[in-house]
Amino acid sequence: MGKHDLEFMKEAIRWANGCRPIRDSIPKVGAVIALEDKPLGRGRRGTGEEGDDLHAELNSISQVEDKSLLTQATLYTTLEPCTMHVRSKPLECCTELIRRHHIKKVFVGILDPNQGVTGKGLLSLQDAGVEVVLFPYDLTKKIMVQNEAFIRSQQTLGATIISPKDGDELRTYESGGKYSIRFKCLNPPGSDTYLLSYRGGLYWPQGGDFRQIEPRVWEIDAHFGSTGEHVLQLVTASKLGSALITYYRNVVELNRSRREKLRGKIDLSLLGGDYPGIAMNGLPQGLRLEASVRVIVAYKVELTATSAKPQTVSRGEMTRIMYEIECSENVPVGMWLGASFQDKTGKFFFNTSEDKPISLKKGSSTYQRDFTIAKDAPLGDQMLRTNVWYGTVGDSTKSKRVSSGPPIPIKVVE
């Protein structure tokens, strides 16, 4: 270690003190570049403003007027330089920046606690022939205190579910009962990371593997055995929590094995489902919540056919519309039948007082409602549009359209 190295390391720490991170997951980092005893550039991690992701190494290098000097320079940085594994733009990572400028030597304060970086930054630099030296222990302790909140944040998954959004309706009947859950995280999911689905006091641990989609973005499939509201929870498990989930999965395997042994011998419906769910009112000890999202698994409702009688209707008179609807299960409340048509100017004609609430039955059933032609309705041929809605009867702004039928030709006369 040269006689000026210690002073530049201390200066890098002082520069890190000037950082104002807007959240715990952003570290305080200072960097100094020097050629022997002459400082060439200084920088710190960002400005503290939303969206500012400029790293200390980049900021310090950008201050060096003569970039040719970097090949003989030393970089002093309080945190291990980041790698392409954690950057949305891999070529802008700090290790690549150091390699590209052929910086001769790098002093590193502490290893990055982010699992996507830890040790990888040092190895990347060493592979490129860069001499890497760690700060002395007394300075390392100061940096760890300086970054206490950041280090603590890196001990968690730091996850945010980005798809689906809270309150989204999932049409899993189009994908065999499953939906891909995508989340962004600071650290990659490990063997102690699980996705749970919760509904009606029961938890269902999800199987399958986590798939990395892009840096810090992962995906796993969730399977739903029923419709309605579910809460998806991403959790980290202790040994106790992992034992609970392992026990559940063993029960599932026993159920499936028992079913196969009894196939053809008894009515298998008597055995119930293979996935009974874990009865809990909330997360037990051993499971730490990382992120959650509420979703609604949609019923499969299809308006397969419609008709109207009579199809020639006078203004102020009524026609009766028949709806043939196929549904995946019984839906006792919340559904209603809507109908309308438009004139050439785009004006809608409908009757909210005649919009009709219905109870859907599993399978295919026929329903009917009346539709009175307005006294100011346009004369001539019109196309009557029919829909099935879920929500507040007669109010499309507080409802979701779940299915639409083929237009019905009608003729409006005096």
- pLDDT digits 0-9 by tens, 331-342: 888 999 999 999
- At residue 276 the predicted structure's pLDDT band, cuts being 50, 70 and 90, is confident
212-216, 307-311, 322-326: which has the minimum mean pLDDT? 212-216
Q: For residue 36, name the pLDDT band (cuts at 50, 70, 90).
A: very high
pLDDT for 86 beyond 80: no
The whole-angstrom separation of Cα 159 and Cα 278 is 24
* Residue 377 φ/ψ, nearest 5 degrees: -65, 150
Q: What is the pLDDT of residue 176?
A: 82
The answer to whether 187 and 158 are in contact (CB under 8 A) is yes
* pLDDT, average across residues 16-24: 90
pLDDT of residue 216: 85
Q: Look up the pTM and report it.
A: 0.58
pLDDT over 90 at 38, yes or no: yes
Residue 48 has pLDDT above 70, yes or no: no
pLDDT, residue 51, reads 67
Predicted pLDDT at 162: 96
Domains in the chain, CATH or no CATH each? 5-153 (3.40.140.10), 159-297 (2.60.40), 301-413 (2.70.50.60)
pLDDT, tens only, 168-221: 999 888 888 899 999 998 788 988 999 999 998 999 999 889 999 998 899 999
**Phi and psi angles of residue 232, each rounded to the nearest 5 degrees, phi first:** -95, 130
Between 280 and 71, residue with greater pLDDT = 71
- 125 band by pLDDT with thresholds 50, 70 and 90: very high
One-letter amino acid for residue 376 of the chain: D
Q: For residue range 229-275, what is the model confidence (pLDDT) as tens digits?
A: 999 999 999 999 999 999 999 988 988 888 888 888 887 777 777 78
Share the mean pLDDT of the chain.
Answer: 91
Q: What is the DSSP string of 226-242?
A: S-EEEEEEEEEE-HHHH
Cα(352)–Cα(98) distance, integer angstroms: 68
pLDDT, mean of residues 339-355: 92
pLDDT mean over 299-305: 90
What would the DSSP string read from start to end of 382-406?
EEEEEEEEEESTT-GGGEEEEEEPP
pLDDT greater than 70 at residue 88: no
* pLDDT confidence of residue 114: 80
Mutual angle of helices 137-146 and 5-17, in 10-degree steps = 10
Q: How confident is the model at residue 400 (pLDDT cuts 50, 70, 90)?
A: confident
Dihedral, CA of residue 255, residue 259, residue 265 and residue 269, to nearest 10: 80
